[in-house]
Chain A
Amino acid sequence: MPINIGIPRALLYHEFGSLWTAFFSKLGVPFTLSAETNTQILDHGTMLAIDESCLPLKIYLGHIASLLPKCTHIFAPRIAGYHNNFFLCAKFAGLPDIIRNTFSLADNQLIAPNIENKSQSTQLKAIYSICQTIGISKISGCLAYHQAKQTWKNHNSAPTHSNTQIAIIGHSYLLNDAFFCRDILTVLKKRNLTMITSEHIPSKVLYQQAAIFRPDIYWQLSAKLAGATRYFSQLSEIKGIIMVSSFGCGPDSLMNEYLEHHVLKNSNTPYLIINLDEHTGSAGIVTRVEAFLDLMNWRSES
């Protein structure tokens, strides 16, 4: 069977996806992206995962299960941190191990380079290990990575917002996954409200905004959320903020409290915190978002 690398469209794919796909296409290695999240993927993932895992991890496992019959390799890097002084949460640090323990994979079937920090040597080692697993020259690997990184950097900065009214804040793997945010977006669209998410703001701006929370916050993705919250609460055109988090998310359980106290309560912007879980009844979410929008409107009218 010719090489075909499976990339699950979940978790950190939504942070680094364009880098990964650019890298593999520059290398000329065929790869398959899993389909957009659907109920089947969710159900399969929920069945495979330990009950107490967070929702995005369950979905991630579902994506891998959907890729396994089609692909020779699965690409699942372990990223424990790639920004100085920040960590990613425990599930990212254990991601390849979780996969190995859940699926019975052959040793070389999992491409899991280890990114412990941002240093050049870590990146080089990661590239080496990828090339070794799929049997490709390391020099062309490095070249492809270099080129992919250039396009990724350029692609990654395009701030666009004008006349937006609602800001949605959440982890990239929730916001970019249509399955999670569909209901919220439908309600907003029905009301003709324009919206912006934390994903539309360049990371650099987010980290700058989050700088005042140092050294309290040590989770990298949470720092981005904190930066986004602060950024949006300062914009006058934003009439309301919706924070989306998922059941079982460790960092969010404390971060939401922290941000409420340090940012949201001090600003004048109304906010709503929504917790998602695998029980996908949309009525609950729709009702809450509608109620929130109603209150928001009354407030601005009075």
Chain B
Amino acid sequence: MNVTYPHMGYLTIPVYNMLSNLGIKVIEAPPITKRTVELGSLYSPESVCLPYKITMGNFIESIEKGADTLLTVCGSGKCRLGFYNTVQKIALAEKKPLQLHTINISENVLVNLYRLLRTLAPNASRVSIAQNIAMTLKTLKALDKINDAKNHYGALTEDADMIINTYHRGMQQLGNCHTFREINETCQHIIGDMDTATTVLAPPPVKIGLIGEFYLLLEPYVNHQLEDSLIKQGVEVKKFVYTGDWAYSQAILHTLGLYNEETSYLKEARPYLNYHVGGDGLKSVGNALWCAKNQFDGIIHIYPFSCMPEVVAQYALKNIARDYNIPILSLSIDEHASDVGITTRIEAFVDCLKRK
């Protein structure tokens, strides 16, 4: 049994560790490249959204490397994500016999994950499964922290590349940690390094809020290194979506009934959006409104072309932009989007904001 899963930002670092610690043989998909996108699009329905195509490409490339057991997520709702696995299975099964396991993320993530790991690693003890899940969550939270630190210091310093390099080194080091204590120490160490490397301490001139669809915000290849290119231009970036934060609130707080994403964002999005519209639509509007009320200079809204919830959100966003007089750049990404096209638009947007 060779297990694989699609890429999504740094989520794969602790997931790889978790699975291999439990004695599961993992064949990780090669990093996303142009080939991944092309392969994925070839085997996908034409008008489906981008995350479908890229995860499809990941699966195909891992199958080429010998994977035969695929892990993915599903969740019923109004958005297409819940239907991904059912349709992806059709095209993938034509290649070779495969097993597809899905984790339902709309309820009881923790329980679903635990059950899945029990079936994948029948010999691992219950305690070690629980330990590994806890380590995964802890690592993800630490990765969130250094990501945040990178955006903070990167925008302040003149040499953002150095901060970004430190960040990449930090990700590797966190992937090699084995205890909570090690994680805490590494995390502090990395942030300390970034702090000492930061030369200029004038506040960045421009503050931008980053909103949109989950996958596109979290996978740097797909969003064309949006965060890095912003901080290189000295822009302070405010993110609302973090992998670890999401996993933690979804796995623990939601399961315990302490936190409900829908209800908390309903309040923030009013009066522009009054109901849940599936996916991250409500969240995008809530976050945009928050940015508008907190004197941000601009908002970048990034989503896959034809994403159903984000298109509904667009209707609200254009009014927020008008009512609060805040510029919003909408980036609708599909498999044909080119690095140059996106970069040019971001640079032009930042230039406009700086001049304003």
Contacts and interface: CB of A to CB of B under 8 A. Distances in A.
B42 interface: no
A89 interface: yes
A86 to B, nearest CB: 9
A198 interface: no
A98 B86 contact: no
Interface in B33-87: 45-49, 52, 76-80, 82-84, 86-87
A50 B306 contact: no
Chain B interface residue number, banded:
35 or more
B87 A258 contact: yes
Interface in B271-310: 272-279, 281, 305-306, 308-309
Given A218-B83, A253-B45, A80 B78 contact: yes
B90 interface: yes
Contact of B272 (A87, A97, A216): A97
> Most A CB atoms within 10 A — which of B46, B83, B309, B314?
B83
Interface stretch (A124-132, A201-209, A244-252): A244-252
Contact of A94 (B47, B52, B77, B312): B312
Given A250-B80, A254-B45, A93 B315 contact: no
B78 A90 contact: yes
B19 to A, nearest CB: 26
Interface centre among A52, A53, A80, A114 (most CB of B within 10 A): A52
A88 interface: yes
A96 interface: yes
B229 interface: no
B47 A90 contact: no
A255 to B, nearest CB: 8
B319 A90 contact: no
A256 interface: yes
B277 A90 contact: yes
Interface in A42-89: 50, 52-53, 78, 80, 87-89
A87 B52 CA distance: 20
Interface string A245-279: 00110110111111001000000000000010000
A253 B275 CA distance: 24
B7 to A, nearest CB: 21
B343 to A, nearest CB: 22
Contact of B306 (A52, A96, A216, A256): A52
Interface string B84-95: 101100100000
Interface in B293-339: 305-306, 308-309, 311-312, 314-316, 318-319, 332
A90 B279 contact: yes
B95 to A, nearest CB: 14
B80 A257 contact: no
Nearest to A252: B47
Nearest to A57: B311
Contacts of A78: 275
B309 A90 contact: yes
A50 B83 contact: no
Contact of A258 (B47, B86, B272, B273): B86
A218 B76 contact: yes
Given A101-B315, A102-B315, A90 B273 contact: no
Contacts of B273: 94, 97
A230 interface: no
A80 B276 CA distance: 9
Most interface-central of A87, A90, A98 (chain B CB within 10 A): A90
A91 interface: yes
Contact of A254 (B77, B78, B87, B277): B87
A202 B52 CA distance: 34
Contacts of A217: 83
A50 B315 CA distance: 7
Nearest to A107: B271
Nearest to A222: B83
B86 A90 contact: no
Contacts of A93: 78, 275-278, 312
B79 to A, nearest CB: 6
A74 to B, nearest CB: 16
Nearest to A275: B47
Contact of B48 (A97, A247, A253): A253
Contacts of A52: 305-306, 311, 314, 332
Contacts of A87: 76-78, 278
A234 B218 CA distance: 45
Contacts of B275: 78, 80, 93-94, 96-97, 114
Contact of B45 (A102, A218, A248, A257): A257
B306 A98 contact: no
Contact of B78 (A53, A89, A114, A255): A89
Contacts of A101: 272, 315-316, 318-319
Interface of B: 45-49, 52, 76-80, 82-84, 86-87, 90, 272-279, 281, 305-306, 308-309, 311-312, 314-316, 318-319, 332
Given A88-B78, A90-B277, A93-B278, 19 more contacts: A50-B318, A89-B308, A90-B79, A91-B312, A93-B78, A93-B276, A93-B277, A94-B281, A94-B315, A96-B275, A97-B272, A97-B312, A101-B319, A218-B76, A247-B47, A248-B306, A250-B79, A250-B80, A250-B308
Interface of A: 50, 52-53, 78, 80, 87-91, 93-94, 96-98, 101-102, 114, 215-219, 247-248, 250-251, 253-258, 261, 275
